[in-house]
């Protein structure tokens, strides 16, 4: 079954994480980057693809999102070939640079066209990397979520919280720890499927979930050792992801993985489930899986994937083409509006226009909604 899913790493961050996934688990991964150095020494564990060599000469995009987007569009037929034999594509990407921000939406768009479910892990840059990077990241998020089925955000600021406040923590250690967090979510199902556990949570549960709806999910994990391991792990799970549990009432479904050694007790499993359900709205389903790992005696590890209330699948997909007559009417109304013909009629017209885009995220730049036509934004009268 695990042959049915594939992990794509896009850009420097995505490739680092996807490669680690392949190295640790023998899950299949494909690393895609415009920068040849990021792909070095990864070929032994996964497939590597240098994209856009004709544009970037293997040097990376230098943050040029527009050129990276064109390279991604040229690569669409290859994405189709790469995706075609899989039932689920897991996509990992860091945003804020050129490659991850621009290539990821196109890969997801192709997967959507092919009806292949996707699960996307998105890493935001540190805020100290500057507002320009963060602006690129925000724009990338709206492009990614337009095409993604289920997706999860991680902020490097949050993932590295304790490292940021420690004066002697290295960047290397902070990134390794942050990556491990994301890797644990990606590899959870592989561990469930390839190791004995008695209580099974398989990939079909995830695939079926992605077919029912689309939207955001949260990933929380904790691990503890010794006498009070279960209480400590539960408390770490809930308290170190307070941002997640602050919104626990929005959860529609929880997938829960409990990993331990041969000494994992039944009552410990019960404690984890009952404590998690106390955090959620009553009757939210919790789907449980367990894994027994030979070297995990003395420890308990909890991984929870919480799906936020999601929108119906394809609710925001393009509707039937607008009737030409209606389009002309909308344009006329919009022009009247720019020419100062305000009042209740134009408010009504605006409502008609906006309702076409219900459920989509606007692409805002410098306070302007770039999804609006230029003549409306610049108030250019059309004769
Ligand atoms: N957690 C984590 N974040 C990373 C890692 N590498 C990079 N990042 C973050 O991801 C953001 C995007 O960086 P990259 O993935 O290197 O950018 P890219 O997609 O290769 O884009 P270009 O190099 O500009 O073409 C950075 O600003 C970092 O904050 C990593 O290994 N782990
Ligand atoms: Mg790069």
3-state secondary structure 186-240: HHHHHHHHHCCCCCCCCHHHHHHHHHHEEEEEEEEEEEEECCCHHHHHHHHHHHC
- What CA–CA distance (Å, rounded) separates 24 from 183? 9
DSSP structural state of residue 376: H
Q: How far apart are CA 263 and CA 344, in angstroms?
A: 70
Q: For residue 56, which ligand has an atom nearest its CA? A: 1
- Give residue 324's pLDDT: 39
From CA 224, how far away is CA 272, in angstroms rounded?
Answer: 13
Q: What's the 12 CA to ligand 2 centre distance in angstroms?
A: 4
The preferred substitution site among 13, 65, 131, 171 for testing ligand 1, maximizing ligand atoms within 8 Å of CB, is 13
Token pair of 243, please? Answer: 């941002």
Joined together, the tokens standing for residue 296 give 């995990």
Pocket of ligand 1 contains residue 160 by CB under 6 Å: no
> What is the CATH T-level fold of the domain 217-312, as seen in this structure?
60s Ribosomal Protein L30; Chain: A; (3.30.1330)
Q: With beta carbons less than 8 A apart as the criterion, state whether 214 and 120 touch.
A: no
Pairing relationship of beta strands 364-365 and 368-369 according to DSSP bridges? antiparallel
- Which residue is closest in CA terms to ligand 1's atom 5? 13
- Ligand nearest the Cα of residue 68 is 1
Domains 2-192 and 217-312 share a fold: no
Query: 96: closest CA among 61, 54, 145?
Result: 61
In angstroms, the CA 104 to CA 32 distance is: 10
C-beta neighbour count of 311 within 10 angstroms: 12
| CB-proximal residues (5 Å) to ion ligand 2 | 12, 35, 60
Fold of 2-192: Rossmann fold (3.40.50)
Q: What is the pLDDT of residue 162?
A: 72
User: In the chain, which ranges are continuous DSSP H helix?
Assistant: 11-25, 36-39, 53-56, 65-74, 76-83, 99-113, 131-147, 156-159, 161-165, 171-194, 203-212, 229-239, 242-245, 266-279, 324-338, 344-355, 374-377
Token pair of 198 as six digits: 């008695």
pLDDT in tens, the chain (383 residues): 446 889 999 999 999 999 999 999 888 999 999 999 999 999 999 999 999 999 999 999 999 999 999 999 999 999 999 999 998 999 999 999 999 999 999 999 999 999 999 999 999 999 889 999 999 999 999 999 999 999 999 999 887 777 777 778 888 888 888 899 899 888 887 887 788 888 888 777 777 777 777 888 898 899 999 999 999 999 999 988 767 787 788 888 899 999 999 999 999 999 999 999 999 999 899 999 999 998 999 999 999 989 887 765 554 443 433 333 343 344 444 434 444 444 444 444 444 444 455 556 666 665 566 776 776 666 676 65
Burial label for 330, CB within 10 Å (0-12, 13-18, 19+), is: middle
Domain ranges across the chain: 2-192, 217-312, 325-377
Collapse the DSSP code of 312 into the 3-class scheme (helix H, G, I; strand E, B; otherwise coil) and give the result.
Answer: strand
Residue 234 to residue 279: CA distance in whole angstroms:
11
Q: How far is the CA of 62 from the centre of ligand 2 (A)?
A: 7
């Amino acid at each position: 079954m695990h042959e049915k899913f594939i992990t794509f790493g896009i850009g420097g961050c995505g490739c680092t994480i996807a490669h680690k996934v392949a190295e640790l688990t023998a899950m299949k991964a494909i690393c895609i980057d415009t920068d040849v150095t990021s792909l070095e020494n990864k070929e032994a564990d996964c497939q590597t693809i240098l994209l856009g060599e004709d544009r970037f000469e293997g040097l990376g995009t230098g943050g040029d999102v527009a050129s990276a987007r064109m390279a991604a569009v040229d690569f669409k037929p290859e994405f189709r070939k790469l995706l075609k034999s899989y039932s689920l594509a897991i996509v990992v990407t860091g945003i804020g640079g050129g490659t991850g921000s621009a290539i990821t939406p196109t890969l997801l768009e192709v997967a959507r066209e092919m009806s292949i479910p996707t699960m996307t892990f998105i890493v935001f840059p540190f805020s100290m990397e500057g507002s320009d990077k963060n602006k690129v990241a925000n724009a990338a998020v709206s492009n990614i979520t337009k095409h993604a089925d289920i997706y999860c955000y991680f902020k490097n600021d949050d993932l590295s919280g304790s490292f940021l406040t420690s004066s002697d923590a290295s960047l290397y250690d902070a990134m390794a720890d942050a990556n491990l967090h994301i890797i644990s979510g990606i590899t959870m199902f592989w561990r469930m499927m390839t190791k004995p556990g008695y209580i099974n949570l398989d990939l079909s549960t995830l695939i079926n979930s992605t077919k029912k709806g689309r939207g955001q999910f949260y990933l929380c994990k904790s691990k503890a050792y010794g006498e009070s391991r279960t209480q400590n792990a539960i408390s770490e799970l809930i308290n170190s992801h307070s941002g997640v549990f602050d919104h626990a009432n929005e959860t529609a479904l929880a997938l829960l993985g409990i990993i331990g050694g041969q000494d994992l007790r039944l009552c410990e499993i019960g404690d984890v489930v009952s404590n998690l359900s106390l955090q959620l709205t009553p009757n939210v389903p919790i789907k449980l899986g367990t894994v027994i790992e030979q070297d995990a005696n003395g420890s308990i590890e909890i991984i929870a994937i919480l799906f936020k209330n999601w929108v119906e699948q394809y609710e925001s997909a393009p509707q039937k083409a607008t009737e030409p007559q209606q389009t002309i009417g909308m344009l006329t109304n919009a022009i009247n509006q720019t020419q100062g013909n305000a009042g209740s009629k134009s408010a009504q017209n605006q409502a008609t226009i906006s309702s076409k885009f219900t459920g989509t995220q606007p692409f805002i730049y410098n306070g302007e909604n770039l999804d609006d036509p230029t003549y409306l934004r610049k108030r250019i009268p059309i004769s």
